[in-house]
Structure 1
Amino acid sequence: MAARAGFDCDVLVIGGGIVGLSTAYALTRTAPGVRVAVVEKEPGPGRHQTGRNSGVIHSGIYYPPGSLKARYALSGSAEMVRFCAEHGIAHAVTGKLIVAKDRRELPRLRALAERGRAHGIPVRELGPAQIREHEPEARGVAALHVATTGVCDYGAVAAQLARSAADAGAEVRYGAGVTAVDRRPWGVAVRTAPGEVLRARALVNCAGLQCDRVARLTGDDPGMRIVPFRGEYYELARPDLVRGLVYPVPEPAFPFLGVHLTRGVDGGGVHVGPNAVPALAREGYGWSTVRPREVATTLAWPGAWRMAARHWRYGAGEVHRSLAKRAFAAEVRRLLPAVTDADLRPAASGVRAQAVLRDGSLADDFLIRRAPRAVHVLNAPSPAATASLPIGRAVARWALDALD
């Protein structure tokens, strides 16, 4: 169906990651008369957070009751498994162990068990001997077995969402980064890097690592800045040391889950990591990638300095593990004592688009804000891939509201 006269589309989605494509997919399914377009600056879908992670389908056990993360991950995990099965995408429901390395972590482990049961997640508490039954090389004083955790290929999921949305009439344009946005009472006009201007009745900002920049281009104050954190991974040279997924008990002050071991969806390789270090560019996948303007943008945000003042000790440890492989291996051995330094082979890194608020706090929940003619998804790191289908439906509803 053609868009209304004078418009190229009704809803323009900026960002071709898994959340943006889920939103386009939801719009085509729930409102087939609405014309949808997606613009993505990369040459294909899911090239950043979506395609650079360990591929875990999270159960939802970590997230507080009532939070958006809990709500969407709990429903999204089962829905993601069904979506993969329906479209023949590689996936497996493996379960995972969350291991307490010493007695100081036991209260946090028990709290996780209580939260899991409150969410209706099947969890089982294990002692040291039972840990070894599941993972013979893992060591800890206690653990939780979470049965509903799995793995999948999120890059393939994003590609399928793009195909399904396009088959239903959406237009997906790659190589079309956004350079300017002009919002008027009637809608928005967006200029892309190739020089095209697209007019839409409403805009959805799912730009991930660039979402705060797009919000400001639209004329909205997002009240946060993206501070990129690089997650560095290794591959395990002896994958037979791990049967499935082994995680530490997370530190509640941070939205990161710590260094963990994840057997890939193909059943072969084992990902180890990530640690989390400040990246020197929004898309800084290594220490050698430095973009001074982006670093300056981060340093100009008061929240970045307040965050650093609160968490510098934790951050120093992460940087040390980044620069010293031996320190990283020592952290892994706290879960898997048999791992040697030589067992760790460098693998591709990812970058987490972490929203930092003005007071220096790290946004722990998904952050989605509505504005005239616009919806901004401003914090959607893990478990956003797991939760992408219900997130997409929610954002699609708000985008349809914005049309009015």
Structure 2
Amino acid sequence: MSAYDFCVIGGGIVGVATAHRILTRHPGASLVLLEKAPALAAHQTGHNSGVIHSGIYYQPNSLKATLCRRGAEWTKDFAAAQGIPYRVCGKLLVATNTVEYRRMLALYERSITNGVAVELIDATELTRREPRVTGLGALFVPGTGIIDFTRVTDALAEEVRGAGGELVLGAEIKTLTETTDTVTAAGPAGSWTARRMVVCAGLQADRMARAAGLRTNFRIIPFRGEYYQLPPERAGLVRTLIYPIPDPELPFLGVHVSPTIDGTLTVGPNAVLGLAREGYEKGSFDARDAREILGFTGFHRVATANIRTGLRELRNSLFKRGYLAQCRRYCPELTAADLLPRVAGIRAQAVLRDGTLVHDFMIERTARSIHLLNAPSPAATSAMSIAEHIVDRL
């Protein structure tokens, strides 16, 4: 057929939201969305804790800070309109020692700067609200919620189809060829040509960027986030999301206790180097993925700078007791018997050649395509506002 007006690569929530936003902005346009997996939301979207974040953590004026706040409201509004269950249960970020308490106060100031509603509470009030949680104090973020982002993705996809968009699954892309007028994406399942292209490839973002001829100084490093879930009789342990105070030097939020929209109570995730970008079983290994990670200068610099953290995370992955200790700092009555297996997630983390962990969303473009290169948490929360940001630049 002749060229589509638009092509989107990537069937996670951000890619599908982008297709949705394009067709909302350009009704009647021809659009095709290509996804390598046999289903939508197969990777990061379908393997997270389902939290609608509020934007408390992020550097003021960063894309994350701006887009998370707007995305959270759009997520709730869209879910309400579609009849998708969600619950605004709030979140407590608990300080368990003096170092974390100082970080908590700095985070409180940042939340005010970012325009996020937050309440600073002391240890007595923390215990009153959550009797099984202990700490020196906490931040309560009332706007944080929980949802099933796979259901949101599926609902967006139905609206894309209803607006005339095509969704092609099992369409792995190997090459991207750009001319003055079009971009062609090709792979074993076929080729598709469009006048404009958006690439939201998540765990494969760096490979797609290189395929498009972008000069990249980063590599996607996969970090496995291993989860446990509590037995059904422990599902009422807490009423709100319980998070530790994060280390501001790292892009991970720490092991948290999270109610989910289906009534399960989960614990996690940790952050362990993955040697397979799409391998969710413990011990997964992919030779190409491992070779690219271990041969990348930026990874060696990150590993050297964070060797103690990396060893701790690896130990906690291998031995449940270490993982449990992370949780017992703020929820001391948890036991090893409470931690039941749950499917892991994998975070696509962009790392620069100099060893810098990219904290913010990262977007690059060619004349006819836009590449979302780094979109870790809170990308699911921010999906609709990321999509608007991208479409504004098309």
Give me the TM-score of the superposition, normalised by structure 2: 0.97
Distance in 1, matches of 2:258 and 2:199, equals 31
User: Deviation digits for residues 300-343 of structure 1, max 9, x if unmatched?
Assistant: 22111111111111111001000000110111100100000111
Q: What runs of 5+ residues in structure 1 fail to find an aligned partner? A: 400-404
Secondary structure in 2 matching 1:197: strand
| DSSP 3-state at the match of 2:16 | helix
Name the CA distance, whole Å, in 1 between partners of 2:166 and 2:83.
24
Give the 3-state SS of the residue equivalent to 1:387 in structure 2. Answer: helix
Instruction: Report the Cα distance in structure 1 between the residues aligned to 2:370 and 2:307, rounded to whole angstroms.
Output: 34
Q: 1:342-370: CA deviations, max 9, x gaps?
A: 11001010000000011101100000111
The Cα offsets for residues 115-168 of structure 1, whole Å up to 9 and x where unpaired, read as 222222221111111111221100000101110000111000111111111111
Equivalent-residue separation in structure 1 for 2:28 and 2:342 (angstroms): 44
> Map of 1:21-170 to 2, 5 A cutoff?
21-170=16-165
Distance, in Å, in 2 between the alignment partners of 1:120 and 1:359 is 33
Residues 34 and 168, structure 2, Cα contact 8 Å, conserved in 1: yes
1 CA distance for matches of 2:254 and 2:200? Answer: 26
Residue 386 of structure 1 is matched in structure 2 by 381
Does the 8 Å contact 2:28/2:164 carry over to 1? Answer: no
Match of 1:287 among 278, 282, 289: 282
- SS of 2:380's equivalent in the other structure is coil
Q: Is the 8 A contact 1:368 1:378 kept in 2?
A: yes
Q: Is the 8 A contact 1:370 1:398 kept in 2?
A: no
| 1:144 partner amino acid | L
- 1:222 match: 216
SS in 2 for 1:241: coil
1:402 matched residue in structure 2: none
2:201 aligned with 1:207: yes
Paired position in structure 2 for 1:191: 186
Distance in 2, matches of 1:114 and 1:78, equals 22
Equivalent position to 1:274, from 265, 269, 274:
269
Is the 1:281–1:295 Cα contact (8 Å) retained in structure 2? yes
* SS of aligned partner of 1:173: strand
| Structure 2 CA distance for aligned equivalents of residues 183 and 223 of structure 1 | 21
Q: Larger deviation: 235-244 or 44-53?
A: 235-244
Partners of 2:216 and 2:17 in 1: how far apart? 22
Structure 2 residue corresponding to 1:353, chosen from 344, 348, 351: 348
**Partner of residue 227 from structure 2, selected from 217, 226, 233:** 233
Per the alignment, residue 254 of structure 2 pairs with 258
For 1:75, give the aligned amino acid: R
Contact 1:183 1:219 in 2 (8 A): no
Is residue 167 of structure 2 the alignment partner of residue 172 of structure 1? yes
* Partners of 2:165 and 2:210 in 1: CA distance: 26
1:396 to partner: Cα distance: 1.6
Gaps of 5+ in 2: none
Q: How well do the aligned residues superpose, as a CA RMSD in angstroms? A: 1.1
Deviation at 1:397, TM superposition (A): 2.2
Deviations 1:259-297 (A, max 9, x none): 00000113x211100000001111121233211111101
Residue 299 of structure 2 is matched in structure 1 by: 304
- How many angstroms apart in 2 are the aligned matches of 1:163 and 1:180? 28
Match of 2:2 in 1: 6
Q: How far apart are 1:10 and its partner, in Å?
A: 1.4
**Matched AA of 1:229:** F
| Partners of 2:212 and 2:111 in 1: CA distance | 40
Q: Which amino acid aligns with 1:207?
A: A
> Using the alignment, how far apart are the partners of 1:301 and 1:373 within structure 2?
29
The CA deviation string for residues 208-263 of structure 1, in whole angstroms up to 9 with x for no partner, is 00011011111112321100000000001222222120000000010000000000
AA aligned opposite 1:77: A
| Greater shift in the superposed pair: 285-294 or 48-57 | 285-294
SS in 2 for 1:61: coil
Secondary structure of the corresponding residue to residue 386 of structure 1: helix
- Paired with 2:37 and 2:123, the residues of 1 have a C-alpha distance of 47
Secondary structure at the aligned position of 1:378 is classed as strand
Flag the 1:371–1:12 CA change in 2: closer, same or farther, 3 A.
same
Identity of aligned residues (%): 44
Give the CA deviation at 1:202. Answer: 1.9
Q: Deviation at 1:372? A: 1.8
Whole-Å Cα distance in 2 between the matches of residues 287 and 344 of structure 1?
16
SS at match of 1:158: helix
Q: Distance in 2 between matches of 1:190 and 1:75?
A: 31
- Taking the aligned partners of 2:82 and 2:188, their CA distance within structure 1 comes to 33
What amino acid is the match of 1:44? A
Q: Which amino acid aligns with 1:43?
A: P
